[in-house]
Structure 1
Amino acid sequence: MPSTRQDVDRPSDAVAVANRYLRRERPLSALVALIVVAIFVGTFLATSLVPALVIGAALVLLTRAPIIRSRGSVRLQTDADVESVVDSFTGATPPVLAFQWGIADRISTEDGRVRYHISYLFGLRSVAVTVETETETAANGTQHLELTVTANERPWSTYAVRISRTADRTVIEYEYEADRRFGLRRIPQRLVAVRYRDEALSAQGYTVVDRDEHFGV
């Protein structure tokens, strides 16, 4: 029988940041849909139904077409020891996924996998974000982790994490890459995430030392 747990303790400060992110992201994402509707209605009033349908369909395709991909590398540091950092990255609430577990309706763990159940559109739609983690210890003691993230069983992103100890700090370096492309409608979500991501890490005791990223086609 597989074991399942749903009693996950989430860092409260990071959850507060994630909720602020959500309160700003959802209205902006809804605004994209409203703009499409407004253009459709405006075209219909100015011309006729057929041109409006053509324009509306083109806008929907444009906003949903998978043309954008993200990747990057980040360097963090913390006062926590290596073991504690490894536990946080391999546990139910990896620091880099605060905007997933922080807004989840519930979190379940089963057979080494963590799943975040997230609803939106007033509960009419939902997504299950699943995280699987692999770990390896190098000869010099450096910890190597790989977090594979899927959404409704479809590839989402991969994080390659390296954790090591300096004289007085633990250093975390990770590279991330989206495993699929996204439409332009994701841009508002991205902009809000940029605003709050470092704050979410800081709330968990991590300082962002360096960040290099690419977001585009």
Structure 2
Amino acid sequence: MIAVSLFLGTYLITSLLPAVIVAAGLLVVARAPILQSRGTVQLRADADLETVAEAFTSPTPPVLAFQWGIADEVLTDGDTIRYRTSYLFGLRSAVVTVQTQTEDTPSGIHRAELEIMANNQPWATYTATLSRPNGETIVDVEYTSDRRFGLRRIPQQYFAEQYRDDALTAQGYTVVERELHFGI
């Protein structure tokens, strides 16, 4: 809406050529990879530590519900998981690959790291630290986007934020706290 207004305003004030230049500049800015997301989320679960640890290292980790939930096919090969998804009526497809690494500490803390690639390009890293103080399983998840994206992804980010906590709640987790940074 703003882009159209800028184009029309430039056209009305000057002429077609400056308006076309403004439109081209706006397209470049909208597609330029300038934004990155990162954040943390703390989850609480009633399930025991081993069950939650298995969930985070399974082919369907709770924090990746939007990836495996829409996948046409989920393939596993050891610690590597692939979600094959088609869209635009099958005209395009994407393969999301998740590489899982786990670590247990003597103090009873489990750590799972999920490295995600989309079409063989780095996408994001999720690190989940699981502990069980006071009889409740606590999961501290830190996530970082491994690539930048353009302004056209803002609506997608907005709608994902609207449903992300609901997706976790549906899987039996309570979102205790969430901190999100979305910007440059």
Tell me, yes or no, if the aligned pair for 2:79 and 2:101 is still in contact at 8 Å.
no
- Aligned partners of 1:133 and 1:198: how far apart in 2? 22
- Alignment match, 1:81: 48
Query: Once the two structures are superposed, what CA deviation does each residue of 1:76-111 show, in whole Å capped at 9, x if it has no partner?
Result: 000111111111110111100111111112211123
- Aligned partners of 1:143 and 1:125: how far apart in 2? 38
Per the TM alignment, residue 57 of structure 1 is displaced from its structure 2 partner at its CA by: 2.3
Gaps of 5+ in 2: none
Per the TM alignment, residue 61 of structure 1 is displaced from its structure 2 partner at its CA by: 1.1
Normalising by structure 1, we get a TM-score of 0.76
Structure 1 residues 105-114 or 73-82, which shifts more? 105-114
Map 1:21-40 to 2 at 5 A: none
Query: Once the two structures are superposed, what CA deviation does each residue of 1:164-202 show, in whole Å capped at 9, x if it has no partner?
Result: 112321110011111111100110001001110000000
- Alignment match, 2:141: 174
- Alignment match, 1:200: 167
1:111–1:168 Cα change, 3 Å: closer
C-alpha RMSD of the superposition: 2.2
- Alignment match, 2:22: 55
- Alignment match, 1:104: 71
Structure 1 counterpart SS, 2:135: coil
Tell me, yes or no, if the aligned pair for 2:7 and 2:22 is still in contact at 8 Å.
no
Amino acid in the other structure paired with 2:161? V
1:52–1:125 Cα change, 3 Å: farther
Gaps of 5+ in 1: 1-31
- Aligned partners of 2:181 and 2:94: how far apart in 1? 25
The count of corresponding residues between Structure 1 and Structure 2 is: 182
Percent of aligned pairs sharing the same letter: 51
Per the TM alignment, residue 51 of structure 1 is displaced from its structure 2 partner at its CA by: 4.3
Q: Which has the higher strand share?
A: 2
Tell me, yes or no, if the aligned pair for 1:158 and 1:178 is still in contact at 8 Å.
yes
Aligned equivalent of 1:159, options 123, 126, 134: 126
- Alignment match, 1:211: 178
- Aligned partners of 1:108 and 1:57: how far apart in 2? 41
1:41–1:215 Cα change, 3 Å: closer
Normalising by structure 2, we get a TM-score of 0.89
- Aligned partners of 2:54 and 2:104: how far apart in 1? 14
